[in-house]
Chains A and B, each alone.
Chain A
């Protein structure tokens, strides 16, 4: 730390609380108005924006799901034609995976991780701003193409040759591939920020074994993002090359291979599922601990299970390909590895049950969602074990059984915890509580609606209904159950409607929350709600895994950060010993401009390979502006 500051530099040691807050606010604030909104690098503003945008995409994706259910309620319905239907399920899947589920989890981390580790901003805050803009551009690209009736129509995994130059007409598949590039660049940026924030910016004393479980889960997730990314970048670039400049990576007639696509896609696509699920594990662990009024049981096994899941996630992509005709030995290996992932999942479930067992569970809304999560996720996990068996899978692969399975893990396993997390952290983010009454209604409707909608799909699948069909014939015995499913989807949507109403209502008129309404134990609750732009008046010093429970009266704090410029504490990776104070970038318009330039280049490159060359010039200019050295003195150590 900078103990030998020259007196000319004002630090937080020199002021009383009120004066300190005034000065910090002056340094860290985001100006009001449009300019402030476009230039801010405050992780809370960007995180909030990210979360809201992701939920807008959730609502849009939900509307698409309702449209599909309307069409499928009756046999041979003519409500939506095959072309639109194919766009709709592709949009629904791609939107839910790439524009909702992954971004919303990263967005929660963008907001919460810096607060939970006790720092003033995320690492690389300008990159963070850039990430949001790029994500928004990717989302708009996809939805505008849908509005123009030229959305991708090849499914969210875009198998070749259907998505290749011969069968994928127009620019639809290119739009899909480029949308992936947008969202993956955005995700990669956030992943890097999280790794660095967690490794280097933790509050003094927060050694590795004191990191909150949500932060651990995001750390593992971030590594998954970083490692899965090369595969999808390779896949989507080669697809665009095949389509745009006539290479033959995937053309069997010219020595290419259709299965290569599936390997590349699922090498990314399977970890992608855990990129969505692992943050949910962190959320559940956090909520269960708070509402059981005790530390979570088995911190170490839970961390190990997170890491084990992260590693295993890369060893089971082939279970998406059990019917392509693989050698028997390969099938056996991937059956075993897919089954094995049930073991860390089991460890997690048992530790949570033990926490409930040994605690005093209080059934507030966040906890209700967690209980709903346990009920449904265990079903999804067990159907996962079923499809991991090759012979079993040959009957249910690509049927509604699989649609049921992955909604049990995605909605039951990730969206339920996410909704619980929103109820849980909303007071921190907005300063107001959400309604407990509406919360219970939302939970009841969503839980019942979800199970009534998706459980029958298991049976439909076993009864032979394939997925991705825009209609079915009246002689098939599926009509009654499809009607029931479609009706139940309305109940489910009603539940989401109540949730959205509650969010909007509570933002305006919810009860004032106070610093720590749930009596939780982690650092984000040690500052006001919503937190000030500088997060913490003084940086806390952590002496335990549950700082607010073990040091309930007053946290010890570290001092010595300057107040006249943005400064953070940099600490060591393992022990979180403070090592240096480092300056944190100020607001800037360059990330937005760089995002715009990148957007132009990426969209242009759908139409001409030369875009990669000419389009990089504006990107170069904006990046130069971004990194132009200011006269800030070197960081002090």
Chain B
């Protein structure tokens, strides 16, 4: 009974983890990922059969050894020669088949020419910058680590890097593609269902490569447009006195040198744009859930939570810390 309960717990833990943004090639929710999953299953099945056949022959050969035989005659050698030739021919056929299947899959995954929306992704050590450009510069905005997209349409993702090579990988939506300094890569993604899809940097990029997650939040067009409109707006100052004090601190302390908060004089570009940081689900590229407590912990000591990351520790009194985290939380 106990074991049964443990299994139920385990399975539900996985399901909960799934809701929190599954990150698995086998949990395909995007058009490309579904095709890839079929290809993967197909190739794995073919290869498993091949392996099983080889093993059967191996076992039979070993069992045969128990019956004593006369030494190899040219007749039996010739027969074996034919069998080996046939096996090689079969290998050629299978390999050719897999190659062709692979070509077709690649063709099927071709770039969509008429994407509804283009999002620029810049990889940074160790976070993601998402730039939503608009022909009207006033309508452009950027955010970090959390990308919203409308469901059911093709999204063109333009990949660039500002430092080293990273790789954009949201396995439930599509295969990965590298972000290479000095080059621009493009990949098309499309979510068929609303949901939160987790992704993670897949090319080793230094100390905090392990903590470079991103979330793609797919929602219906109306919800997406509400979100985009909210993001376009400048930050709104809260009336809360603690938050107001936090805002002043932010401008006075080194924070503003690295972060932008639209609507204020903070316009640094080293770290993520914080204009609406309070509306995101996680901070520090998926490291912590976004709560007032975790914001305070992060600001107090980023180097212990994410060793080596590019945000320095800024000495703060406990009051200052409280005010800053209140301000951050208010930036919805």
Which A residues have a C-beta under 8 Å from some C-beta of B? 81-83, 86, 154-155, 159, 161-162, 166-167, 252-253, 256-259, 294, 297-298, 301, 323-325, 328, 331-332, 335-336, 339-340, 342-343, 346-347, 349-351, 353-354, 356-361, 363, 371, 374-375, 378-379, 382-383, 385-386, 388-399, 462-464, 466-473, 475-477, 480
Contacts and interface: CB of A to CB of B under 8 A. Distances in A.
Size bin of chain B's contact surface: 35 or more
A332 to B, nearest CB: 6
Given A350-B88, A466-B201, A397 B176 contact: yes
B88 A378 contact: no
A256 B286 CA distance: 33
A257 B182 CA distance: 8
Contacts of B101: 389
B180 A391 contact: no
A396 to B, nearest CB: 7
A358 B178 CA distance: 50
Contacts of B208: 82
B100 to A, nearest CB: 10
A162 B164 contact: yes
Contacts of A328: 106
Interface stretch (B40-48, B131-139, B261-269): B40-48
A470 B106 CA distance: 33
Nearest to B182: A252
Contacts of A325: 177-178, 180, 183, 185-186
B168 to A, nearest CB: 9
A357 B64 contact: yes
Given A350-B87, A353-B57, A477-B17, A294 B210 contact: no
B47 A463 contact: no
B102 A349 contact: no
A389 B102 contact: yes
Given A360-B68, A378-B51, A395-B33, 14 more contacts: A256-B182, A294-B72, A339-B99, A342-B91, A350-B83, A359-B65, A378-B55, A386-B40, A390-B102, A390-B106, A391-B35, A398-B204, A468-B209, A473-B211
Interface in B71-130: 71-72, 76-77, 80-81, 83-84, 87-88, 91-92, 95, 98-99, 101-103, 105-106, 109, 125
A389 B10 contact: no
A356 B87 contact: no
Nearest to B73: A358
A398 B205 CA distance: 12
A297 B87 contact: no
A154 B40 CA distance: 30
A389 B211 CA distance: 29
Contacts of A298: 81, 84
Contacts of B186: 325
B181 A395 contact: no
Given A161-B181, A391-B102, A343 B88 contact: yes
A294 B72 CA distance: 8
Contacts of A395: 25, 33, 36, 40, 171, 175-176
Nearest to A332: B103
A396 B92 CA distance: 24
Contacts of B64: 357
B202 A398 contact: yes
User: Which of B39, B58, B109, B287 counts the most chain A CB atoms within 10 A?
Assistant: B58
Contact of A155 (B80, B103, B204): B204
Contact of B171 (A259, A386, A464): A464
Contact of A361 (B47, B61, B211): B61
A378 B54 contact: yes
Contacts of A399: 202
B310 to A, nearest CB: 12
B316 interface: no
B1 interface: no
A335 B103 contact: yes
Contacts of A336: 99
A386 B44 contact: yes
B67 to A, nearest CB: 10
B175 A323 contact: yes
16 contacts: A82-B207, A82-B210, A83-B207, A159-B203, A162-B204, A259-B180, A297-B84, A298-B84, A332-B106, A335-B103, A346-B91, A354-B84, A375-B55, A382-B51, A469-B210, A473-B213
Interface in B174-198: 174-178, 180-183, 185-186, 198
B69 interface: yes
Nearest to A472: B210
A392 B206 CA distance: 26
A253 B47 CA distance: 45
A328 B183 CA distance: 17
Contact of B182 (A253, A331, A382, A470): A253
